[in-house]
Amino acid sequence: MIKINENKIRVIYLGFLFFVLIFILGSSIRQYDKLGFVAHKYEILRSGWQRILPDGSKKNLDSTGGKVLIKNLIIERQLPEEVPYSLTTLYVRTVHQDITVWVDKNIVYDYTYADIPPFNSKTPPIYWVRIPIRRDMLGKTIQIEFRGRARNAENTLNAIYFGEDLSIVAAILWKSSLQILSSLCLIFMGIGMWAEYILVNRKQGAERGVYYLGLCLFFIGLWMGSQVDSRQLLFNNVLLLWNLEYISLIMIPIPSLLCINKIERNVCQREIYAICMIIAVFDAVFIISAGIGLYSFIELNLPIDLLILLTCLEIARSFYVIKRNEPALFRELTWLIGAGTTMISFSCIELLSFFLNGYENQGKFLSIGGVLFAFQMLHAQGVEYDKVRNEKAKLEVAEKIQSEFFANMSHEIRTPINTVIGMNEMILRESHDDAVLSYAQDIQASGQNLLSLVNDILDFSRIESGGIKLVPKAYELAEMLHDINSMIRFRAEWKGLRFSIIVDEDTPAVLFGDSFRVREVILNLLDNAIKYTEKGSISLSVSFREMEIMEEEDRGNTTERNLAMSCISPDSYLLKNEEPGLDYAKAVELCFTVKDTGVGIKESDQNLIFQKFQRVHTGWHQNVQGTGLGLPITHYFVNIMNGHIELQSKLGEGSSFSAYLPQLSLKEDSIGNYEERYLKQKGERRDFDKGFIATEAKILVVDDNELNVRLVQNLLKRTEVQIDIAYSGEECLEKLKKNTYDIAYLDFMMPGMDGEETLKRIRELEIENRYGRPIPVIAFSSNMLPGMRQKYLSANFDAYLAKPVEGKELEKTLYTFLPENLIRKKSNEEFFESEMKQHSISEDKEEEKILNREMGLKYCMQDEAVYREILSLFRDSSMEKMRELESAFENADYVKYRLYAHGLKTTSLTVGAIQVSEDAKKLEHAAKRVVEGVEKEEAMHYIRYNHNSFMRLYQRTVQEIAGYLQ
């Protein structure tokens, strides 16, 4: 079977075009001789003429003897008496002259050029005059008067044709055929280049060299076509063509210069742009002058020629500069010099031919040179395209290899980190100790931060090449600040530093932007501050100012500096999306300022800190470890988010980094107290899902890492789903053949048969779930480089989960893909029962003492007598306090319950009953949430679940105090 490819289709198509051309030519030639195009049914009246002198005398005149220029010329001769033609016409060419024709003393034609603006000329154009000759005029005397510019007899007599219409037109057109074809060739080449740029190159972000070259060729072709000798026979409005000849000529220099500028890679851009502006001004003056009739184009020939000369000189100068400063580039552009030499050479030949033969060979040599120049330029452009295509192919191969390397490296490095984060989530789920939970939360936040830093290091090559893509989405500023506070405060306090976050309460609360990158900018700045600060404080200040969204039409009127300081460009990543609600968004600029009391930076070193792999050595911190990538990555992120960063620092006194980041504000809400808003938002979010149970469901988890498998088992423990395990693609297929599962979770990167190949085999085997439908297959992957999401979906995975797997996302896929009849949603009671078990008040401290005497004495100024007195008061008032708490609890009066718990929290801490104080604090906080309506239902369940345990702990405390006082 013949293999069809693009080249074979191209050859077949060209063969078809050749066949069509032969068909058209063959069918036309059949009637060509009958139309008079083959037979020469005309003659050129070069002889038999006499010139009528001003005194009325006559002088013989022929085309070979009259080299002297004659301004006003009157000639006459006798028309032939007999002709073998059926129709006769006289064609006379005038060159910037008016004309009158008499036959036997009767005027048969009179043309006087009218001087009427706009765009009329004071000098008549070159044109052909057609004079019909009737048979009764044969043998009579014809007299022709030319008025205007001087001509010699040769140019006049060689352009008088007598014969049949079609035959004369064919002869004149044939004489100009080379020019006509050349001009059409150049025009269509230019149009083709426009189309190529608009349809192909522009979408690919290519330079506009092709576009300017197309303009240049188009105007050269238009100029050549407008001055063709037979132009009037093709287009009757000779005045328009004559004006078009000059307009197209003055339009050539600017695209020529801009094309050269692109080809020589903007080496001489400043000078070329300046000359383009000068030429544009003169072009405007020329057109206005001709339009109002002040000067005709022909009277402006000299300045137009000077502009052409200036263009040629600038092109020559630019190549001289390139040869002197960049020899390598000059060698690459030798083809352009060859093309220019071709054009200049044929132009010189054209001028020489004009001086030797007048209008006899007008435009022939220039046409040949123009076409050769065009083909040289096209060939050179093709060579450049091939070079670019080859370079692009090499880059694609290199990028593919690099992408595979980073994908493998990403998988190997991130897997243990993912396992740590995943196992830590199990601590968060199952631990009942608030201190342990607090530590686990810090581990979780730091682990995510570590994972992010590893991602940045692995992807730094993408950062350098602009490969990081921003993903804007709506986010809560309060949540971001809370997470930052959780991650940074412990590290700062561990070094003995004070850490604070100061937020302008009017700052918008709900924003739109790449929250992940904004978070990275702030964390990098804070990390840098902690690293270089030994004592004192670190603070993060958040403020904002309003900005404007610049309209598309205002883009050219705004400088880059003003754009960065006052408005968001329509090209901003924030506006290139279809997110709902953005029609009402307002532009704001957030300012995140990180101040520290650290070592500071010398003014001379401040330019180095944003360079990669650079750390400023102050002499105080030679032992500071790091890659030197933190601040360069921060600077990069700030730049791609269309922001800017400022530094103020003095050696020995600390530093202040301010990152200004444009964002969109989506709501009118202000952030207020960010911690209170976070707690409120957290409560609202947690109310939406109370969990579910899927006891009868059965899933298969496939992963070559046992820790990852254990993590998934633990994360899905509370759903009670049945989980089976496979450690390879081959084992997965064997289990799927033997058993029926509702969902398969499949690791994408495994040794041997990877996830993609395993999925392909699953689909080929047509493995189904219990209801006879194709089993849903969900991908696990720690490789989330750009483009991987599309790869997973293109491989026909039903969904994908990024590692470290989040319990919420894992449960979400389970809930989405399991049949509805296998899922039972938890009731509120079941949900709160499971949640309260993790936060209940412990009573397992029977043997331990509740009172902390040292703490109590501390609050009593180390005076035993005062301490015993306080204990007595606490004991004596305990019965009344218990009754108040019980009454408030039974009547569900959470306002009083909060008040009583608050009082007990303080007094119990004063006597050293730390556990009672801590538990009272939790109950107080829960009552506060009930009163404020934040997580109300959950808070009520907490109080109901823990009230009795707290009251028993309170009674034990009173008993221990009584024993101490005896």
Task: Give strand pairing partners of 658.
Answer: 593, 646
| Confidence band, pLDDT 50/70/90 cuts, at residue 827 | low
**Residue pLDDT, tens place only, 590-622:** 999 999 998 888 876 777 777 654 555 444 444
Three-class DSSP labels, 343-389: HHHHHHHHHHHHHHHCCCCCCHHHHHHHHHHHHHHHHHHHHHHHHHH
In the three-class reduction of DSSP (H, G, I as helix; E, B as strand; rest coil), residue 500 is classed as strand
Average of pLDDT values for 786-814?
71
Determine whether 84 is exposed, middle or buried from the number of CB atoms within 10 Å of its CB (0-12, 13-18, 19+): exposed
H-run or E-run covering 926: helix 914-932
Average of pLDDT values for 371-379?
68
Determine whether 491 is exposed, middle or buried from the number of CB atoms within 10 Å of its CB (0-12, 13-18, 19+): middle
Tell me the angle at which helices 515-531 and 477-494 cross, rounded to the nearest 10 degrees: 20
In the three-class reduction of DSSP (H, G, I as helix; E, B as strand; rest coil), residue 539 is classed as strand
Give the model's pLDDT for residue 457: 62
| Confidence band, pLDDT 50/70/90 cuts, at residue 744 | very high
| Confidence band, pLDDT 50/70/90 cuts, at residue 1 | very low
CA 493 distance to own-chain centroid: 42
Among the listed residues 302, 339, 303, the one whose alpha carbon sits nearest the alpha carbon of residue 319: 339
Task: Give strand pairing partners of 633.
Answer: none
Tokens read off for 943: 């109080």
Report whether pLDDT(958) > 60. yes
Report whether pLDDT(117) > 50. no
CA distance 757 to 765: 12
Q: Which of 206-210, 578-582, 730-734, 891-895 has the highest mean pLDDT?
A: 730-734
Give the model's pLDDT for residue 407: 57
Residue 112: half-sphere exposure toward Cβ, Cα within 13 Å: 1
In the three-class reduction of DSSP (H, G, I as helix; E, B as strand; rest coil), residue 653 is classed as coil
466 to 454, 610, 663: CA distances (angstroms)? 18, 16, 20
Q: Which of 109-118, 544-553, 654-663 has the lowest mean pLDDT?
A: 109-118
Average of pLDDT values for 731-756?
87
Size of the chain, expressed as the number of residues it contains: 966
CA distance 882 to 872: 16
Determine whether domain 837-965 maps to CATH 1.20.120. Answer: yes
Give the model's pLDDT for residue 187: 81
* Topology classification of domain 42-175: Jelly Rolls (2.60.120)
Give the model's pLDDT for residue 524: 84
CB 133 within 8 A of CB 90: yes
Residue 85 amino acid letter:
Y
The CATH architecture annotation of domain 472-685 reads: 2-Layer Sandwich (3.30)
Give the model's pLDDT for residue 363: 58
Between 871 and 685, where is the model more confident?
Answer: 871
Judge if the upstream peptide bond of residue 132 is cis by omega within 30 degrees of 0: no
Report whether pLDDT(851) > 70. yes
Between 270 and 122, where is the model more confident?
Answer: 270
Q: What radius of gyration, in Å, describes the C-alpha atoms of the chain?
A: 46
Give the model's pLDDT for residue 186: 78
Task: Give strand pairing partners of 144.
Answer: 75, 101
CA distance 452 to 442: 15
Report whether pLDDT(842) > 60. no
At CA 515, angle to CA 511 and CA 517, rounded to 5?
140
Of all residues in the chain, the percent with pLDDT exceeding 90 is 6
Give the model's pLDDT for residue 67: 61
Residue 640 amino acid letter:
I
* Topology classification of domain 692-826: Rossmann fold (3.40.50)
| Confidence band, pLDDT 50/70/90 cuts, at residue 48 | confident
Give the model's pLDDT for residue 619: 42
**Residue pLDDT, tens place only, 616-643:** 544 444 444 444 456 777 888 888 888 9
